[in-house]
Amino acid sequence: MSCLLSTTGHLQAYLAVLCQDDELVLVTDPGCGAVVANHLDRYLVREKVTVADQTAETALLTLQGSAAGRFAIATELELPSPFSHCDGSIGGIPFTAMLNDRFESGGGLDILCADTDAATLLDEAGNIVEITFLDPDTVNVLRVEAGRPAWGAELDGSVIPLEANLADAISFDKGCYLGQEIIARIHSRGHTNRSLIGLRSDIEMCSGDRLLALNGDREGQDVGWITSSANSPRYGWIGLGYLRNDCLQDGAMFAGANGARIASAMLPIHFTSGA
């Protein structure tokens, strides 16, 4: 995965880059296609490159869990490492597949195809592996359990990638790129001002709730906020949020604006690792 940055080091998009024979395919979050296309087009000077937003013509399907591996074997996909990709076909329908374990479920596969082929491809896939369709609430539970940040919740144009645990999607030794100076400065300093954390609570948490410190030097102060929450069948109320770095401590307690204790911090985010 990669981060597209502004000159100030803030996220413009979080995306995967698929290197094809004669083109680069950028896979990003819903609603970000036009932003990415416009951003890239703005910085093309003399390169013989055409930038096109293909969102309307493309479908992204995802198989998660053991079904992804069985599908990859049945369609003879060669995918040696996370986010590696290759082309395949099923029932005469061409597609591009990329390894992407979205929920830390033991396997995951993203499939790109023409939008007009998506329904037929799903039918063909259903003949190979058993498919259970997930509703948005279930997807959100699985995402929060896995500690995966999402665009519009944890990620937006105000976020610097290092705040959101996206260091693996940033280069610290590449040559000049937009935002590099800010990233290098933060990297040499050793930390950001805030970090993305996991949260657990005995009562309901809501996105947007502020976090007030219940102990420490900042007791009673507003030190962060909740970006996502979910009622997990396995872990109860869990969430993701941003917290000031000087308050980072595993098990630290926080209250909501009404004074009720709502959450304890989890560092690092590790719901699915048995916490």
Flag whether 154 is in a domain.
Answer: no
Is residue 209 located within the same domain as residue 128?
A: no
**Number of domains composing the chain:** 2
| Whether 58 contacts 78, CB under 8 Å | no
* Strand locations in the chain (E): 2-5, 11-19, 24-27, 58-64, 85-90, 93-99, 108-114, 194-201, 210-213, 222-232, 236-244, 253-255, 261-266
Identify whether residues 41 and 134 lie together within a single domain: yes
Judge if 7 and 104 occupy the same domain: yes
Residues 103 and 201 in one domain: no
Same-domain check for residues 83 and 210: no
pLDDT (tens digit, 0 to 9) for every residue of the chain, 275 residues total?
Answer: 899 999 999 999 999 999 988 889 999 999 899 999 998 888 887 778 889 899 999 999 999 998 999 999 999 999 888 888 999 999 999 999 999 999 988 889 999 999 999 999 999 999 999 999 999 999 999 999 999 999 999 999 999 999 999 998 988 887 788 888 889 888 888 778 899 999 988 888 889 989 988 877 888 889 999 999 999 999 999 999 999 988 888 777 888 766 666 777 776 676 765 44
Look at residue 175 and tell me if it is in a domain: no
Contact 205/263 with Cβ under 8 angstroms? yes
**What range defines the domain where residue 8 resides?**
2-139
Q: Please state the three-class secondary structure of 2-44 as a single string.
A: EEEECCCCCEEEEEEEEECCCCEEEECCCCCHHHHHHHHHHCC
**Are residues 132 and 197 both part of a single domain?**
no
Query: What is the largest distance, in Å, between two alpha-carbon atoms of the chain?
Result: 64
The CATH number that applies at residue 259 is: 2.40.30.110
What predicted TM-score, i.e. pTM, was given to this entire model? 0.88
Residues 69, 131 within the same domain: yes
Whole-angstrom Cα distance, residue 109 to residue 101? 7
Which of 139, 172, 206 corresponds to the end of one domain? 139
Q: Determine, yes or no, domain membership for 56.
A: yes
Would you say the C-alpha torsion 82, 109, 160, 206 has a positive or negative sign? Answer: negative
Q: Is residue 174 part of a domain?
A: no
Residue the block writes with tokens 């609430």: 137
User: In this structure, are 130 and 45 located in the same domain?
Assistant: yes
| In-domain check, residue 36 | yes
Please report, for the domain that includes residue 98, its CATH number: 3.30.1360
Gap between the Cα atoms of 127 and 232, Å rounded: 31
